[in-house]
Structure 1
Amino acid sequence: MQIIGFCRFSYPAEGGFQVEHDRIEDRISYLYATARMEERFRHFETLCLPGLRAQSDPDFLLLVLVGRAMPALWLARLTALLADLPQARIIARDPGPHRQVCQQVINAARDMAQPCLQFRHDDDDAVAVDFVATLREAAQDCAALLARHRLVGFDWQRGYVARPDAQGLCAEPCFTPYWGVAQAVAVQPRVTQTIMNFGHAKLPQFMPTVTFADRPMYLRGHNDHNDSRQKKHVRPAPLPRLDAGGEAEIRARFAVDADHIRRVFA
């Protein structure tokens, strides 16, 4: 079954952000500000990409949606980072309605005559190295359920919240249902709705979902430029620093290397 991952990398959508802007030009300026982009790239390189490169099942496609207004400097840097991930495909689009553009990009990449598994992935998060394999196995195990429904959701609810810095990685285990990371939807043939047509927290309102909590499947990046952390009254979340043993566990599960983090964030 075709598996498609979808990642928005600073795409200036109309809607889709908790931080609002009056004009699309203001959103573009906000997204491509140097300080913000430097942080996004550091998280993308050290958290997001390692686990995708190390997937035990490499048979998936990763669509990376960017804006056509992305400055050439940032686009070249993104292209270089994805050069050794053959599953990745950069897709550039003009600003447009968030859910509509995401839907069009995903459907243009899939075989509409066949069923499809789709997962959403933020550029500062990580999934475990067996996520794609586990997703494929879950779909096979739930074949009867998938056959009866146009859409079926899958949600892995145990993982870590983590903050990288020049000293390494601060992280702690968490259990958060429908957080939007390590989340997927099985889509039947000719169904045009995609995982991006639904808010991640509202997925079970629109389809049956199957949830898992047997092992950590995600690492949720925590940083100053999280869209969800830009509103007022958002409290800081102090995280304990990992020791050598904790760093080794994260490396084994997510291919995230604390030494790599220290070099990039130094």
Structure 2
Amino acid sequence: MASFQHILIMRFSYPALGGFKLSKAGPDEVRATLYDPARLERRFALFEKLALPSLLNQRPNDCEIAIIIGEDFPQPFRARLERLTAPLPRTRLFPLPPMDRAVANVVNMIRDPACEYIATTRLDDDDAMALDCLGRIGRICRQVLRTKLIAPPLGIAFNKGLFLEKSTRGVRLYGAPQKTPLGIGLTLLAHRDMRQTVYTRNHRAVGAYWNCITDGMRHSFIRTVHVDNDSGAVSDGRTVEYDDSKLREILTQRFGLDLDDLRAI
């Protein structure tokens, strides 16, 4: 069986030159917005309650984690991020200047030349994956490379999960099965010579460019909707209302999270 390397990439308030609506405002405005202390406090509150525990609790997890930040990321927050991510195995911070292909450059820095394929997974710092996502991704990659039933490049997506809306009225959690993939846990398995990552295409359109496996049966993501969303965080599926008992069951069993903790964010 061909070997593969699995890398999860997170951009943490990284001032990219493109790819975001905010990018059009110019580099100075981008930095001022991303590095605003009040915004960063809100971002860390979500990171500490969602993305971080979802990574710490992955089972199993043989994935490398790369967190991209700006080279001028404010020092107190950088120290905080380093402290919070220290318990994460195989995790590195990559402080970079603004550039267009930051993710591809980071992948090139850490790629294992002995591996024929690379699986890149994306996760935003304000979202969460289910406890078994990275393990399932690894199993799918191994099955695909062993059986050769589906040819890479292959997208692996998770279309069933929860939306968490945070507003002045409080926090609302509801089911939001999607018609097209979100970016949470989205993965691209590709040959090393392809030089593409999961960030190369818009996550909603991966099925138009790559073969794609989609899991729509199990709750696998929590997508946050809040004042700082750049994309607008719009669901393209229906809304499913759950009572507190069902929400507690989903959050505990699938994410290892507590409903009351999330409502207190």
| Unmatched segments (≥5 aa) in structure 2 | none
What does residue 251 of structure 1 align with?
Answer: 252
Which residue number in structure 2 is paired with residue 5 of structure 1?
8
Looking at structure 2, the residues matched to 254 and 146 of structure 1 have their Cα atoms a distance apart, in angstroms, of 31
Match of 1:155 in 2: 157
Q: Which residue of 2 aligns with 1:211?
A: 214
Name the count of aligned residue pairs: 258
Q: Name the CA distance, whole Å, in 2 between partners of 1:260 and 1:120.
A: 25
Matched with 1:120 is 122
1:150–1:246 CA distance, 2 compared to 1 (3 A): closer
> Cα gap change, 1:22/1:164 in structure 2, threshold over 3 Å: closer, same or farther?
closer
TM-score of the superposed pair, with normalisation by structure 2 = 0.87
RMSD of aligned Cα (Å): 2.8
Task: Decide whether the 8 Å contact of 1:168 with 1:259 is kept in 2.
Answer: no
1:136 to 138, 162, 179: 138
Q: Matched residues in 2 for 1:25 and 1:8: separation?
A: 18
Amino acid corresponding to residue 131 of structure 2 in structure 1? V
Which residue of structure 2 aligns with residue 202 of structure 1?
Answer: 205
Distance 1:168 1:62, change over 3 A: farther
Distance 1:62 1:167 in 2: 35
In the alignment, the residues of structure 1 paired with residue 192 and residue 148 of structure 2 have an alpha-carbon distance, to the nearest angstrom, of 11
Distance in 2 between residues matched to 1:146 and 1:22, nearest whole Å: 45
Offset at residue 25 of structure 1 (A): 1.2
User: Secondary structure, in 3 states, of the residue corresponding to 1:197?
Assistant: coil
CA distance in 2, matches of 1:191, 1:212: 25
**Partner residue in 1 for 2:229:** 226
Which residues in structure 2 correspond to 1:179-194 (within 5 Å)?
179-194=182-197
Matches of residues 1-40 of structure 1 in structure 2 within 5 Å? 1-40=4-43
Unaligned regions of 5+ residues in structure 1, if any?
none
Q: Shift of the alpha carbon at 1:55?
A: 0.8
Contact 2:6 2:62 in 1 (8 A): yes
AA aligned to 2:61 is P
Letter in 2 for 1:46: K
